[in-house]
Amino acid sequence: MNQRYVLRPDTQAWIGQAWGFFGLACTAELTAIWWLDLTTQLKLLLTIILLATVYICFSLAKTIRDNRDRRTDTEAWITMTYGMAFAMVCALAYGVFFVSPEWKERLMLGMGLAWVIESALVLAKTIRDQHEARADATRHAQDEAGRLGREYGDSTRGTA
C-alpha cells in the first residue's frame, strides 16, 4: 500500500482543546477516585491503573500510526500493545465496578474513564499530526528549494 497522507497543521484552537480536555479529563477522574470513601491503598492502585491506561493509550495510538502504511513494529510489540491496552481498560473497569456498591459512583468513574481514554487518544493523534505536518512542510520546502536550484542552475548554464 503506497498511499501518501498529506497533513495540514492543526489550528492552535484544536491543539489547545486537545490538551485542555485531556487535562480536564485526567483531573476529573483523579478527583473522583480520591473523593470516594476508599482506603488510601485502593485509591493509589486506581490512580496507578489510570496512569497506566493513559500511557497505553499513547502507545496504542503510536503503534497503529507507525504501522498504518507498512509493518514497522514486530508482531510481539503489536500484540503486547493491544494486549496491554485491553488489560488496562479491563483492570480499570473492574476497579470501577467493584469500588463501590453505589451505581452513581460507578457511573461517574466509568464515564470519567471513557473520557480519559478518548481524550488521550485524541491528544496522541494531535501530537503525531503536528509532528508529521512539520516533517511534511520541511520536506516540501527542501523539495521546492531543490527544484528552484535545479531551474536556476539550468538557466545560468545557457547564458554563459
pLDDT at residue 48, as a whole number? 86
What is the C-alpha separation between 115 and 146, in angstroms, rounded? Answer: 46
pLDDT at residue 154, as a whole number? 57
Residues 6+ positions from 42 with CB-CB distance below 8 Å = 99
Residues 6+ positions from 121 with CB-CB distance below 8 Å = 57, 60, 61
What pTM value is reported for the model? 0.64
Say how many residues make up the chain.
160
Closest among 51, 149, 56, 126 to 95, alpha carbons compared: 51
Confidence bin at 105 (pLDDT 50/70/90) = confident
pLDDT at residue 128, as a whole number? 81
pLDDT at residue 115, as a whole number? 84
Tell whether the model's pLDDT for residue 26 goes beyond 60.
Answer: yes
DSSP letter (8 states) at residue 142? H
* Per-residue pLDDT tens over the stretch 46-57: 888 888 888 888
**For the packed helices 103-159 and 12-35, what is the interaxial angle rounded to 10 degrees?**
160
Instruction: Count CA atoms closer than 13 A to 131's CA, side-chain side.
Output: 9
Tell whether the model's pLDDT for residue 64 goes beyond 80.
Answer: yes
What is the C-alpha separation between 36 and 46, in angstroms, rounded? Answer: 11
Closest among 136, 133, 11, 128 to 58, alpha carbons compared: 128
Q: What is the mean pLDDT of residues 143-148?
A: 75
What is the C-alpha separation between 79 and 88, in angstroms, rounded? Answer: 14
What is the C-alpha separation between 141 and 42, in angstroms, rounded? Answer: 53
Tell whether the model's pLDDT for residue 121 goes beyond 80.
Answer: yes
Mapped onto helix, strand or coil, the DSSP state of residue 52 is: helix
Tell whether the model's pLDDT for residue 98 goes beyond 70.
Answer: yes
pLDDT: is 7 or 144 the higher one? 144
